[in-house]
Structure 1
């Protein structure tokens, strides 16, 4: 039955019941109406309106659940679908809404996969250019400065040596940026070695505690990259925003995969909205069907937990 038909039927039932009470009940209306009769009719009208409101509220209750779901759903945090309760058009509407969310999540996942794939390709290209072109040019400059410094003396030599040190530190910084853009150690030595190298590069001013299981299930290249990028973004957020002095990074084997956990002792998230970094982590987690949770850590601070299937 359509929604219009259900509402019409509910109203009709209430009116028929009221009419039957007037016809077959002991109450009659005089001309002119007496005060007692008016009070009885007013009470009957109130009862009829209340009954009508209750029946319609019950009939339209699934629409309220659907409205709440529409206002709170987040495609980056997949949850259980609404149960198609109700009759007729209401159940059909809930089923259609669930199908729409499935299509939107699939399309978002596909679009995010293409965007992140293009992003990784661009990272590799930029890292390669930094290493091959800028790095080689700075190396040539460094050698030229050394050659000139060896032939100079006095204050000029000191200035050239200082320029050498500046060039050398710039070259080291460019190499560090290139490694962050394209984690070659991940491809060459594996996930654990890449995470250890990452903590060494990022942990400025932090005491980093590491814990890695010896026997971890093998992961495909895309999943390893997701785990690495989530750890990288989590450590970066800790350094920039957490005001923490200690962080614990662990990678554990689980019956169905691995669990990455990053916990700091900083000031926590508070009431701040999720930034682009956390939303980026969620998008990456969805690419490999992983579960990501970002929230307060026991005892204070922030905890990032990523569970992926092997």
Structure 2
């Protein structure tokens, strides 16, 4: 059992998020700490108040007591406030902005350790930012065009000389959108990207895929035998193939550390592809990525590592 921590951990996520529930269990098991849980959709149905005077600030939100004792926050999967729809859309937009501004101000003013700091988290979610930063950090990045111009997309695909994949530019809670090969039938539908900018990227034939859970300098690397299954193009949903703990070459590890530092992330789930040429290609990093299945498949102590980061500021796990 770990040493009792003098502060509190706050997990901001969906009420039914399995990762949040597993983290709560890890904190109780390893640190005897019962974290606070917050789903932002509970506001403004439940009240919130901030008082500021000479003695400092006190906060209450959605029936949660002890917010002012919070010393670490896992900004896991925050929702906007759940503001009821009224008669006028302008009024709805105003109330939504006021509620979101209140909740964000209340939480972001906490003098806590953030995993991840919300401003950095928001910027790092932008895939163009990721790819450009990764290239400058020394990572290998497949040739890429991101555009809403059908002619630009068509010219890139025709000049690439290899298969091309396409995928979404943004992120949301909408239905999962997998990376797909660009087929001849898709070329006839490129006009649709005018209203939906799309990433087009040279396809890397895989030797394997690597999913790296980054916990403030600690790399939990999982090798995915993507060539053995149906998910060679996008292995993220194919759990039928082999998963095993792995390690990164020193040069790749150094570039990854530079990337995460430049993005200001203390946590993230990074997707790399090892090509047939032996090169480690950076595909993306998700600051709120899924990793529970990686721990189940490999036994790597990822939840314990993240719990240690929240509690002690260090993701080291004894014996690993």
Greater C-alpha radius of gyration: 1
Q: Which has the higher contact order (CA 8 A, sep 6+)?
A: 2
Q: TM-score, normalised by structure 1?
A: 0.28
